[in-house]
Amino acid sequence: MIFFDIHDGTGKFQCIAKKGALPDGDFALLADTLDIGDIVSVQGALMVTARGEESIEVRQWRFAAKSLRPLPDKRHGLKDDDERFRRRYLESVRDEAVRERFLMRSKIIQSIREFLLKRGFVEFETPVLQRLAGGASAVPFETHHKALDIPLYLRIAPELPLKMLLIGGFPKVFEIGRAFRNEGIDVTHNPEFSIVEWYEAFGSAEKAMGDVEKLLKNLVVEATGSAALPFGESEINLEKPFSIITYRELLTHYAGLSSDEIEKKSAKELDALYKRLCRPRLIQPTFVTEYPEEMLPLAKKLKEGIVDAFQLIIGGYELVKAFSELNDPLDQRKRFEREARKKAQGDEETQPSDEEFLEALEYGMPPAGGVGIGIDRLTMLLTNTKNIREVIFFPTLRPK
């Protein structure tokens, strides 16, 4: 008699093969050749063992696929992180917790899509290959189109095409997809990553803030069954209203900067201090508002030098960036010109002047609110994971 378990990704079931219950030779073939990792088809009668476990008494079986390599040992195999990430399929086939993590990722994407569709948003697909890599400040990947003999760039954000859809008469638009940034790799950054961006005509940063809070609270409860998330040794509570604090207040409180010191420092210097001293301290959900205009050249001005924008920080991670969209083509052109001057001075992380977008803007874009959410970091939060590569099935790795 041989006992073995089969599973199909949704659960496992015990099988019992008895010599007398199988056709001639089938029992011996099973005993001699069946290995862990083999894919088999089984037919038989449902039974309950003396210990009360439902099982299949095998009457027929056959190989669907033979595993020619032994699977890693469940306890000791694939302990090296690089090997785990490189051969994720082996980790997931052996570890239910890994499969659950990626099922959670799928559930998150589905919940976001349903949230937006129920509110009348229309899903679009915008170009991944772009003539100019705009919509965010980052270094793009460049390629070349042979037939047109032009350089093209992998998008760093879908923002500008989505805003052109607003101009085209679609009041509520969104996209879930991939973006690319030719920058460093660390525990919160992968060169290829997943985002959702949505834009709403006659919306604003203030409305977007309420929508984001509602989305995340609903999503967390739907996905986990609780508004409280374990985070390391602490707990993140999404049931309470999210906190709100300005960018300057954070720099004063955590970086110890006076108003005069803030005024004297460049946006890059302030951003470095914010990321090092302020953001890691924001564990509970916190909206950070009123960013310097220089940092967000596509955002509408709130007051002199400040834009109407926010980021949502949870667990020390930036999960959401949103703002009231700049719809003044003259102001937008000035912002692009300032970006060009920064690039001429050696700053690689600038936004190019997109004449096609400026032309579209001159036809008139309604006031709008826009939101961008990093799906990978959101998955990290909901799965209590500290490395972005743990939530991307095929992360970017150096070749062996």
The string of DSSP codes covering 14-29 is EEEE-GGGS-TTHHHH
Calculate mean pLDDT across residues 358-379: 98
Q: Residue 222 phi/psi, 5° resolution?
A: -65, -40
Residue 269 clears pLDDT 80, i.e. is over it: yes
Cα–Cα distance measured from residue 72 to residue 84, given in angstroms and rounded to the nearest whole number: 11
Whole-angstrom distance, CA of residue 157 vs CA of residue 177: 9
User: Average pLDDT over the chain, rounded to whole?
Assistant: 94
Nearest to 242 by CA among 132, 306, 322: 322
Strand order in the sheet with 142-145: 129-130, 150-154, 142-145
Calculate Rg over the CA atoms of the chain. 26
C-alpha 274/C-alpha 239 separation (Å) is 26
pLDDT at 205: 98
- Domain 2-70 = CATH 1.10.1740.10: no
> What's residue 76's pLDDT?
65
Report whether 54 contacts 13 (CB < 8 A).
yes
Q: How far apart are CA 265 and CA 345, in angstroms?
A: 17
Q: How many helices (H) and strands (E) does the chain have?
A: 12, 18
Amino acid, res. 187: V
Q: For 76-132, what is each residue's pLDDT tens digit?
A: 667 788 889 999 999 998 888 999 999 999 999 999 999 999 999 999 999 999 999
Are the CB atoms for 66 and 95 separated by under 8 Å?
no
Q: What are 155-211's pLDDT values in tens digits?
A: 999 999 999 999 999 999 999 999 999 999 999 999 999 999 999 999 999 999 999
pLDDT of 75: 67
Instruction: Please enumerate in sequence order all residues whose Cβ is within 8 A of that of 149, keeping only pairs 6 or more positions apart, or say none.
Output: none
Strands 122-123 and 172-180: parallel
Residue 13 to residue 4: CA distance in whole angstroms: 9
Residue-wise pLDDT for 315-358, tens only, equals: 999 999 999 999 999 999 999 999 999 989 988 888 889 999 99
Grouping H, G, I as helix, E, B as strand and the rest as coil, residue 317 is strand
pTM of the model: 0.92
Question: Using an 8 Å Cβ cutoff, are 130 and 155 in contact?
Answer: yes
Task: Return the axis-axis angle of helices 329-344 and 355-362, rounded to nearest 10°.
Answer: 160
pLDDT digits (tens, 9 = 90+) for 177-192: 999 999 999 999 999 9
The phi and psi torsions of 116 (rounded to 5 degrees) equal -75, -40
pLDDT of 244 reads 98
Q: Map out the domains of the chain as residue ranges.
A: 2-70, 93-390
Closest CA to 13 of 34, 399, 24, 44: 44
CA 187, 191, 196, 199 dihedral sign is: positive
Q: How many C-alpha atoms does 191 have within 13 Å on its Cβ side? A: 12
CATH domain 93-390 topology: BirA Bifunctional Protein; domain 2 (3.30.930)
Residue 23 in this model has a pLDDT that exceeds 90: no
Q: Per-residue pLDDT tens for 56-81?
A: 999 999 999 999 998 887 766 677 88
Question: How would DSSP label each residue in 51-92?
Answer: TS-EEEEEEEEEEEE---SPPPPTTTSS-SHHHHHHTHHHHH
How many CB atoms neighbour CB 257 within 10 A?
Answer: 19
What gap in Å lies between CA 382 and CA 101, rounded to an integer?
A: 9
